[in-house]
Amino acid sequence: MFVYEVMRTPVITLRPDDTVRQAIRVLYGNHITAAPVVGERGELAGMVSEIDLLTAELRAANTLDRNFPETSLRVANVMSRTVVTVTEDTEVSALLDLMINMRVKTVPVIRGFELVGIVTRRDLMAMLATPDETLRDVIVELLRRECPAAASCDVVVRDGEVELRGGLGEWDSREAEELIRTVPGVVRVTRAG
């Protein structure tokens, strides 16, 4: 399964010159924990998270200069400039590994320099939370439509692991397995008999 199958679009973005308060309102209003920051030409300039914004607000509140204007705090001053990104054709398993090892919650998806999507840990959780019965129904319909030779197979799904049972030739089996792997929520495909 690939990132393009689980990424969210369109992406809610911020600009470097947005105020911290504007950014807080955008994140809060859209129920998101982080957002990419894009430049004039739409290129990815950074990433800003709730903790970046809250830290900036706390520091401003604690400053000795109580006349510090709210509008002087800009996203450009608090965003992370080093951003972990992936491309649309990155495998979801590689993305998950990256998110775990780099300890990031939100990963922008790019095509060249263009921001085309975003994936959060919550998106991956939703994908994995798909009930087995729903996965089975989707797989059976997909096989019926795209791989008729495999349509007569018995499909068993348990915790996202799919087992194909029944007589299938090697070629048909490979084709069916490749199709099944494209279904969001499938973690492994095996064949019995």
CA–CA distance, 80 with 120 (Å, rounded to integer): 17
Where along the chain do its domains lie? 3-128, 132-192
> Which of 33-42, 60-69, 76-85, 171-180 is predicted least confidently?
60-69
pTM over the 0.75 mark: no
Residues listed for the chain: 193
Compute φ and ψ for 130, nearest 5 degrees: -60, 125
Predicted confidence at residue 172, as pLDDT, reads 77
Of 77-91, 151-165, 174-188, which has the strongest mean pLDDT? Answer: 77-91
Predicted confidence at residue 122, as pLDDT, reads 92
CA–CA distance, 69 with 60 (Å, rounded to integer): 9
Query: Yes or no: is domain 132-192 CATH 3.90.550.10?
Result: no
The fold of the 3-128 domain, in CATH, is CBS-domain (3.10.580)
CB atoms within 10 A of CB 32: 18
Q: What mean pLDDT, rounded, does the chain reach?
A: 89
